[in-house]
Structure 1
Amino acid sequence: MTKLTVKQLEALTDADDGKTLREDGGLVAKVRAGVRGVTVLFRYEFKLDGAKRDHRLGSWPKKSLAMIRAERDDLRATTSKGINPTAARKAAKIEAQAAIDATIAEAERQVAENKTVADLFKEWLHDGVSRQDGNAELRRSFTKDVLPVIGKKPLRNLTEKDLLAVLRAIKSRGLNRAVVIRSKDLGQMLRWAEKRKPWRTLMADGNPADLVDVKKLLDHDYQEQRDRLLSPDEIRELHNIFARLERDYVALPPGQKYSGIRPVNTRVQCAMWICLSTLCRIGELLKAEWRYVDLDKGTWFIPAEATKGHKGKRQDHHVFLSSFALTQFRHLKKVTGHTPFCFPSKDERNHVDTKTVSKLIGDRQCSFKSRSKPLAGRHHDDSLVLSKGAKGEWTPHDLRRTGATMMQELGITLEIIDRCQNHLLGGSKVRRHYLHHDYAKEKTEAWRLLGEHTESILATNELG
């Protein structure tokens, strides 16, 4: 039996179709002629356990003759050991796949083991928390205060000291309230992780948030629950400040207006008096839409989705506007009535950000802020400090509390005050099911008395 040569294979023609070629060592070839020319299919014939078998080696010229012989020689070595080459090939594939699977598993284990705080935050934001603003504030605050400090830290290595580093950096800016809020947010995120894979395995040493005592970071005189009230004198003073800032600015020569203290925007002034006279939350007010304000009937409807809920529960709120509150909405209507929103954003496509007014009020009480320099594009003065700062900073939310306290002083029952504030009231489910009186009459009277009392306070006002 002669040895096959490349020249012999190259000499084959269509006339050789179906011809069988053989070579010593079990190498067998079958000639196939087709549209793409002549192809020679090789196989290795051998005996195993007394039975004749064969194993495909591929085709020439796709494979060279030398490659085919080398593969045949490997198979001869395998069969000489009594091993079926087909079974051996399957075993090799299985072993190779097992090695690949093991490599992938190890890589996934390492990835899981090295998941960072930023990885956790991303998943928590997507699956673990859903706040009224679509988690916008969480995203903003973590991006600013948390992730730059510990975002790249593997969760398995996160410690109490790392969390304290985040909180101390916030405290260094004098933001006690932000320290409390960020500590609660971090705790909520880590408690969520404790209950879920793969995070809980990365917290085998416990939750570092449980070791943080945020009270030790706060100023001794800091109170988490604000109780700031504006006295009648301060309400008059605030009214005077609004008027004086407008008067002084108008009196400035044209060339000095740029450097002068600008008056408080009409929208902000209206917002302050509406908060005081309706007991509304500033966030609810800034979301208000003109379609829900009826100036003829003197009503303002706040749909449940625009209210602040408790444990996910919200309810519609009907406000019956006093003469004083109605006047404020009419002033506002002249300014923003051409838009759908009472307090529109700059492009007038949506309402203004719900933190805008609080920031504006805070920026004009800069002596209470620990800022090394003014924030870009923001006010930086003490034009809205009341009582020479003796009672501390005031916020728009303090006006809601002040109005509620004024109602109490007017003899209005706590239940009606709660309803005017749109508090979710407890009590028996059976009682809530059967008793549906809306207290519209009582609330209207309460708001009327508050409006008249506010007007009486301001009636004695003397422009200073």
Structure 2
Amino acid sequence: MAKLTVRAIDTARPKGKPYKLTVDTGLYIRVALDGEKRWLIKYVVDGKQREARLPKPYGNSGAGFMTLSAATAENARIQALARDGIDFQVQAAEAKDAAALEAKRTKVLDASVQEMFDAWLADGVTRKDGNSELRRSFEKDVLPSIGSKRVKDVTEHHLRALLRAMVQRGVARMTTRVYNDLVQMFSWAEKRQPWRTLMIEGNPANLLEIDRILPLGSTANAERSRIFSPDEIRELRDIFSTMDAVYESAPDKRAASKPLKTETRIAMWLCLATACRIGELLQAKWEHLDLNAGMWRIPVENTKKTNGEQQDHIVYLSDFASRQFKSLYEITGEDSKWCFPARSAIAGEQHVCVKSTSKQIGDRQMQFKKRKPLKNRKNDNSLVLAKGKTGEWTPHDLRRTAATLMQSLGVSLDVIDRCQNHVIAGSKVRRHYLHYDYASEKTEAWKQLGQKIELILSETAASSSKKEYGELLPSSIDKQAFSTREATV
């Protein structure tokens, strides 16, 4: 059979319908209606005829075309493979799959810490704030340092270096938090593919010792034990009163320093009077409260998750705590469903940020901060207690103080734990079957706590200096002493 020449192919013209010309054994050229000429190959593998179109059309020049000689050579290669029982199309598909698999394997081997962090956020960790604080801390200190590094290349030295850089910046407590988060992330990854494969040399976070990273004598990794003395409780009240007096007497209130928000002060007294967590309090709705019955229900979604468990909590309000909520209602109860509505929320449709009060308290204790003053925030020492001798305080320290006061009043540890809504330790079997609510015991504990707070606030520093937390409250106190006191004291 005569082979078709270049000239014959060039002179082939389109007809009323597409047609094929035989170029060589198994090689054809198809002339389309628009004149385009495409290469076709027919071959036989295992007794079955196959057909394939070559990827490039006919042409004598240019990278996008295939010449007659190139098509002839490709046809010869395909026919030779067919005689050996190999289908070139199957071979090409297998090669493509193998290349894709290798590319995927390479991509996995090159996976970065940023990718591992993203996977951990998506599937490995769920925190109450939607992981926003976790993301913020990693984006500030971790990812800029090791985010682009391949996971398989990360060593303990990289992790130690970034933590030490944080220590140098003066944020030892944050360093401890980031260390704990790194340990959690790498432990999660170590149990799952593909990250497990990438840590063939071991988990680098397991080789860190935070005590050797923190400055000598640092208490950042120590369990916090700050509690308020009776004198400090009174001092806090006096500071609040002084703030108001100074502001009210200022000749130009626009230029004067505004006192701490009344809502924030009430929140502090409620933390002390109920032993609640500040986040639980700031998410409270008025529908959760029955002030006539003296009850506050904290729904399960607002409580802290401990070992994967959460539980509803009922707070039986003392007279002192009830007065705080009633004073708060006069400020926010008419306009919002939230006890502590966000200032910027439309029609009170959102509660205040759960970190807002802690920031307000911290901003007014700047002598303990190793940072520059923040723009549009208070930056003073107006809430420093005991001239700073006892250190910085936080809203959570009021919760700890409340528990300590209950302990001093002879309240049992089991009841204190339940007043704080701790998930009680012990077997799941016990928690499954033992459901006594300790309502009367908790009511009495909160009542005694409220009376103790009022007693402390009624005393002078001199009269209380001889007393210890261990002294129990008398069975009754003169309520008349507090009849003229503001409800928010």
Instruction: Indicate whether the TM-score tops 0.5.
Output: yes
The question of 1:315 aligning with 2:314 is answered no
Q: How many Å separate the matches in 2 of 1:321 and 1:349?
A: 26
Q: How many Å separate the matches in 2 of 1:379 and 1:77?
A: 83
Q: CA deviation at 1:416?
A: 1.5
Letter in 2 for 1:389: G
Counterparts of 1:268-283 in structure 2 under 5 Å? Answer: 268-283=264-279
TM-score, normalising length: structure 2:
0.79
Counterparts of 1:154-169 in structure 2 under 5 Å? Answer: 154-169=150-165
Q: How many residues are matched?
A: 446
Contact 2:26 2:75 in 1 (8 A): no
Contact 2:320 2:451 in 1 (8 A): yes
Q: CA deviation at 1:421?
A: 0.9
Counterparts of 1:34-433 in structure 2 under 5 Å? Answer: 74=73, 91-219=87-215, 220-222=217-219, 224-254=222-252, 257-258=254-255, 260-337=256-333, 338-345=335-342, 346-347=344-345, 348-371=348-371, 373-427=372-426, 431-433=430-432
The question of 1:452 aligning with 2:451 is answered yes
Contact 2:298 2:313 in 1 (8 A): yes
Deviations 1:159-214 (A, max 9, x none): 22211222123223322221111101001111111122221222122211122111
Q: 1:31 to 1:122 in 2, by over 3 A?
A: closer
Deviations 1:6-53 (A, max 9, x none): 799659889xx99x9999x77999999x9x6999999999999xx9x9
Deviations 1:203-236 (A, max 9, x none): 1222111221111232404152111110111000
Letter in 2 for 1:393: E
Mean Cα deviation higher: 95-104 or 231-240: 95-104
Q: 1:98 to 1:228 in 2, by over 3 A?
A: same
Q: CA deviation at 1:393?
A: 0.9
Letter in 1 for 2:126: S
Letter in 1 for 2:177: I
Q: Which residue of 1 aligns with 2:468?
A: none
Deviations 1:99-145 (A, max 9, x none): 43343333222221111110100001111112222222211211122
Q: How many Å separate the matches in 2 of 1:199 and 1:275?
A: 43
Q: Percent identity over the alignment?
A: 45
Q: 1:286 to 1:164 in 2, by over 3 A?
A: same
Deviations 1:412-459 (A, max 9, x none): 222211111111223455554554332211211111111111112112
Letter in 1 for 2:340: F
Q: How many Å separate the matches in 1 of 2:427 and 2:3?
A: 100
Q: How many Å separate the matches in 2 of 1:161 and 1:30?
A: 64
* SS of residue paired to 1:385: coil
* SS of residue paired to 1:183: helix
Unaligned runs of 5+ in 1: none
* SS of residue paired to 1:161: helix
Q: How many Å separate the matches in 2 of 1:413 and 1:424?
A: 16
RMSD: 4.0
Q: 1:102 to 1:85 in 2, by over 3 A?
A: closer
Q: How many Å separate the matches in 2 of 1:28 and 1:435?
A: 85
Letter in 2 for 1:344: P
Q: CA deviation at 1:95?
A: 3.8
Letter in 2 for 1:376: K
Mean Cα deviation higher: 429-438 or 284-293: 429-438
Letter in 1 for 2:242: R
Q: 1:41 to 1:54 in 2, by over 3 A?
A: farther
Q: How many Å separate the matches in 1 of 2:391 and 2:420?
A: 24
Letter in 1 for 2:276: C
* SS of residue paired to 1:246: helix
